[in-house]
Every structure is written in structure tokens, then in C-alpha cells.
A and B are shown apart, each in its own frame.
Chain A
Amino acid sequence: MSNFPWLTTIGVIPLIGAVVVMLLPRSKGLLAKQLALVFSLIALGMTIAMALQFDADVTDPFQFSESASWIPALGISYSVGVDGIGLVLIGLAATLVPVVILAGWHDVDEELGSVKGYFALILVLQTLMIGVFAATDVFLFYVFFEAMLVPIYFLIGRYGGPQRAYAAVKFLIYSLVGGLFMLASLIGLYVVSGRQLGEGTFDFLSLVGLEMDSTTQRLLFLGFFFAFAIKAPLFPFHTWLPDAAKESTPGTAVLLIGVLDKVGTFGMIRYLLPIFPEASQFYAPVVIAMAVIGILYGALVALGQNDMKRLFAYSSMSHFGFIALGIFVFTNIGMSGSVLYMVAHGLSTAAVFLVAGFLMARRGGSSLISDYGGISKVAPVLAGFLLFAALSSLALPGLASFLGEFMVLLGTFQIYPWVAVVATLGIVFTAAYVLRFYQRTATGPVPAAYAPGSAHPMTDVKAREVTALAPLVLLTIVLGVFPTPALDVINPAVEWTQQTLGVVDPPPQIDTPGGGQ
């Protein structure tokens, strides 16, 4: 099966699903959901089958590579392939889509908009997410990067909350502005490659070897960086996120923050560092400064939020600070930690937003924290999931997010100890806002509005909800206790990135015989 086009197949399955779902009559809403779930599960199964065949010992940067010429006149090709980093992120996307479909079973109805349209859009988004992580042609990456905006724009603008139009337009404008900068840089890269290689190309591996003078590198770096910093988002480009998260359905928020925003940090480690090594080093202090500000700023602003979705949007901004920090310290530990954290954050964000969604569904759609209280008394299992999601957000040791966060901090400490000290303070604020949130929602007296015996008593989780959350919980624990399967594939990709940058890890101060263990 070595020549089997795994990535294309996995990418096309959800697209076929979307078409099939759209062909159904409007009255077959339930069937649309069921079919969407089936197609996303097939894609997940295929992804697992592919991951099992991924060989961590192969020296080629990419595996499962496919290539076909697309616009040969411009050196553009349809080329896909994955390294360990792309693989784990595709795995994350493939896992979250069926979870989101199942969790969002009742999130939309025909009053709000077409039910089949909602689930078809999610499937289209899945295709694009797989494409964006699998592309090895930079132009192809750009196409997926921009195309993702379309389904998300409709998912927010059609199916979101009362301010959805504003949030969707804001999201679109931010992203488009970032995309424009990236397009400019992309053209620049093409011109440079044309001058140097005789023929312009967008092939990633050909671009990695380009020799560029530092001015060119730095300018082109900035174009990509703006796009990624808005997508991720880093301070101060984050303000679209709280609005988008608040107005989205829970499922859209999960895909937006859990996966789509990772394209920003993925782009940094995949494209910025290898293609612009000198510029990456040059701008590293600025990016690190933005990241550290984001860690503390996001956490403090989260502390002051009254809306749970906005709270966890700022929380994510804080966590994206950690991820960007780990990437731009250029140490193996830091970068591996960042990639692990991307996965862990995807899982914890999903858990948080889905539980928040389940709560909102029981409370007339309100995401105001003050509308809740005492959930642990009336819905103990739901409160248990909420607590687990909260603990995953605050990076409790033993869970995946802890390893990601600690490795980022450790990798930072190796190069900039004082930055690590400041960033580590973030863990106190994180505990404060996460537990304050849990205290305000799950503990204390039960509000009259949903007390037992009232008109709308709070009910505990349903089987469907448990089924959606269980894989998130299990993966969070497994990756926290036994991350070897992920680290095995991440490490070679990180080492390759370090080579392209020309950096090595600093040795320990004391050379210990048999050290390192």
C-alpha cells in the first residue's frame, strides 16, 4: 500500500460526504447528521490506518508524498505529504470532527438555518484542514489557508449567536488582511526562487534551500508572520477571537480554536523557521516578547471575563503564547513541547467548549457565567467533565497539556531563563481564572431557574454527550501519561527543523557521565 494516495483519499472522503449530505432533501435533517458522522468516522479510521504506517525512522522529511502538476507555468503543483508535526495535527483534526458532529447534534435547527448545510460545511472544513496540514507546495498551502475562511465564515455568520454577522465579518477581515500579506510574500518567494533556481517554484523543500540576503528574508518573513500571528492569534492581533468564539456554535468554536488557529503556529514551525532561518533568529526576540505578553495578558483578561466563551477564548490566546514561545526558542525540547501542546490544547479546548455548549443548551443558550451555579449538585457527571476540562486547561501534571507546557517552559529556560521565569508566573493566573470559573458555575447554591422542581430543572449528561467527551478525556490522559507515540513522530520533524535553522541545543552546564538519564 506504499503508493496508496493516503492523504488525498483522507482529504476527499469528507468532501464526498459534504456533497452527499447537500443532495439530501431538506426534510432529512437526521439522515444528514448521521451521514456526516459516518463520513467523518471513515476519515478518522483512514487517518489512524495511515498513522500506523508512518515510519519514524525514515530520514525523508515527508512521507505519504504525492505530487501532480497543477499550474506548471507558475511552478505550482498539487503536492502533499506529512512529517510528524503534520501527522499529529491531521490526527487532531480527524478526531475532533466526529466529536464535534456528535456533540452538536442539536445545535442547529431549521429555524436557524439549513441543518444539512451546517454539517456539510463542517465536512468541507475537514477537507480543507487536512489539505492545509498536508500541503508541501506553498501555494497549495496558501489556497487551503484562504479557502478555510469560507466555510468558517458561513458557520459563524449563518449559525451563530445574535452578533454573528459582526463577528463573522470581523473574522473575515482580519484573516483577509493577514492573507494579503502572505500572498505578497509568496510572490516575493517565487521571484527569488526564479532568480536563483532559473525557474520559479512553490515547492516547499526547494524553497528551504534558498539563499536570500537578510533584507529580503526579513521582509518576506514579515508577510507570512502577520498571517500566522493573526491566525494563531498572538498579542496584539487577537481581538477577533473572543467575538468569533462567543458568537459561534460550540462546535464551530472547537474547530476554529482547536484546529484552525493551530494553522498559525503550524505555519510558524513549518514555513517560517526552515525557509527564513536568519530572519527567524532576527525576529525571535520580538516574537518571544509578543508570546510572553500574550501568556500573561490573555490569562489576566480571562480572569475578568463574565462570559464563559470569551473567557476560554482569552485562555486560548494565553496558551497560544506558550506555543509560539516554544517554537521561537529553537530548542528541541521547546519545539517538541509546542507541537505536543498544540494537540493537547486542541483536546482541552474541545472539552471546554463542548461542555460549555452542553450547559448552554440547558440554560436557553446563555453563556453568561452569572446565570450558572451549583451544577455539581444537580448534574454531577456534567460538572465532573467540566472540572476535567478545566484541569486540562490549567495543565495539571499527568495530563497532556502539562507535558506540552512544561517542555515549552523548559526549552525556554535553556536559552532565556528570565523569560521562562515570567512565563511560569502564568500558571498561577491560569489556576486562578480556571478555578474561579469552576467555582462560579459548578459550586455554591443552585439558582432557582434550574433547581429541581422548577420549570426547567437542570439535567445531567446524556449518552450522546458522554460519547462525544469520552475520547477527549481518554486522549488527554493517555498523551499525558504515555506520549511516546506522539513524541516518536514529532521528534524527527523537530530535529529536521533545527537542522534547517542551523541550531543545536545547549549542553548541560555540568557534563555528567551518563547524563541525560
Chain B
Amino acid sequence: MSNEVTKRTMTLNLTEAEMQALESISVQKDLSKTAVIRQALRLYQLVDHRLAKGEKLFFEDEAKREKAELMVMI
């Protein structure tokens, strides 16, 4: 059991609207902006992996009995 995890730094260029969205999610979820970006990356990779395996992603509104497949280009 041994492995080294090194962290690398990068500059992220966002538009004003993107930065506002990031800040808003950060406040809403009580997470740092870095944590939000990490969450997004983990989720993106997981969704991509499952879609590649042939699974589908749906949003369901039980009250309205609506179910729609989320079509994403990944």
C-alpha cells in the first residue's frame, strides 16, 4: 500500500456569468469553489463512464409523472 498524491495548480478562466454560477453554487452548497469544481469533475466522469457503458440518464418528476432522458454530449 503506497502511493503519492500530488496536487497541481491551474488557472481557470471563467466568464462573469460562469464565475457567478460557481460562487452561487459554492454558497448554496456550503462548499469552496475548488470543492465545487472537483464535484463537477467527479460527476462528469461518472456520468460519462455510465453513458459509455450504455446506461441512460433520466430526470423524473413523480408528481407530474414526467420522465425525460437527459441527452448529453460528452
Do A and B pair up? The answer is: no
Enumerate chain B interface residues (CB-CB to A < 8 A).
none
